């Protein structure tokens, strides 16, 4: 598969088959992603591959906390405190596209809550990945992590697997560190759902738009 094909085929998948993911495939995509670049070759990634009873316990703890009204606190500020301008418009359009596809109305708060709660189960994917980073590292290492993320997702496409990168899975870092035994000297960067796509699922039927090159590029000669 060409890299350009994998880039276009990758999407945020929110419904997965119950089919287990072969251990060998997980190792292969991690083995490919480890070649991602990082500043001075620091390779800041620390990956937790979670499935089975451990996933069930961790996801249950996060979802219960959410449903109890505790919306969690990430280890760092992912989103702006207040969205403005084009970013506010894109964010609103993204949410509207999903809820319209699922026919969830603005007034149906219960279905909205249930749909959001699915984040904390990694959308019921058989495998959930969590990504940690040592506290001593700075912003540049988060940039490195982004390249590792993309490499991992493209490698998953090659293996016939679907993914969904999730900031929501980092909203309960203390729960994750406690369940998995990670040091308090680490930050939880994000998570990722991994599995085989349920292609018939309505939530997987839409694609978010992308801006054309001319809208974000200036050429200087």
* pLDDT, average across residues 190-200: 98
Q: Which pLDDT band, with edges at 50, 70 and 90, does 87 fall under?
A: very high
Q: In this predicted structure, what is the pLDDT of residue 71?
A: 87
> Where are the domains positioned within the chain?
3-208
Lowest-confidence segment of 18-27, 99-108, 124-133, 176-185 by average pLDDT = 99-108
Q: What percent of the chain has pLDDT over 70?
A: 100
User: For residue 168, which of 53, 40, 65 has the smallest C-alpha distance?
Assistant: 65
> Under CATH, which number does the domain 3-208 receive?
3.40.109.10
User: For residue 79, which of 168, 161, 212 has the smallest C-alpha distance?
Assistant: 168
| 167/209 Cα distance (integer angstroms) | 20
Q: What percent of the chain has pLDDT over 90?
A: 98
Lowest-confidence segment of 53-57, 92-96, 159-163 by average pLDDT = 92-96
């Amino acid at each position: 598969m060409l890299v350009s094909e994998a880039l276009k085929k990758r999407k945020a998948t929110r419904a997965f088959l119950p089919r287990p993911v072969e251990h060998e495939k997980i190792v292969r995509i991690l083995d490919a992603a480890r070649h991602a670049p990082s500043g001075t070759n620091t390779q800041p990634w620390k990956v937790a591959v979670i499935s089975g009873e451990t996933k069930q316990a961790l996801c249950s703890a996060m979802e219960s906390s959410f449903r109890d009204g505790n919306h969690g606190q990430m280890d760092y500020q992912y989103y702006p405190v207040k969205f403005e301008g084009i970013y506010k418009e894109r964010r609103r359009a993204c949410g509207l596209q999903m809820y319209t596809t699922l026919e969830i109305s603005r007034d149906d708060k219960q279905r909205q809550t249930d749909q959001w709660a699915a984040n904390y189960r990694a959308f019921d994917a058989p495998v959930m990945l969590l990504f940690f980073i040592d506290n001593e590292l700075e912003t540049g290492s988060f940039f490195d992590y982004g390249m590792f993320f993309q490499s991992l997702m493209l490698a998953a496409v090659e293996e016939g697997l679907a993914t969904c990168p999730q900031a929501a899975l980092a909203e309960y870092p203390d729960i994750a560190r406690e369940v998995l035994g990670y040091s308090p000297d680490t930050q939880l960067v994000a998570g990722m759902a991994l599995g085989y796509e349920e292609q018939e699922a309505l939530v997987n039927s839409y694609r978010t738009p992308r801006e054309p090159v001319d809208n974000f590029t200036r050429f200087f000669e």
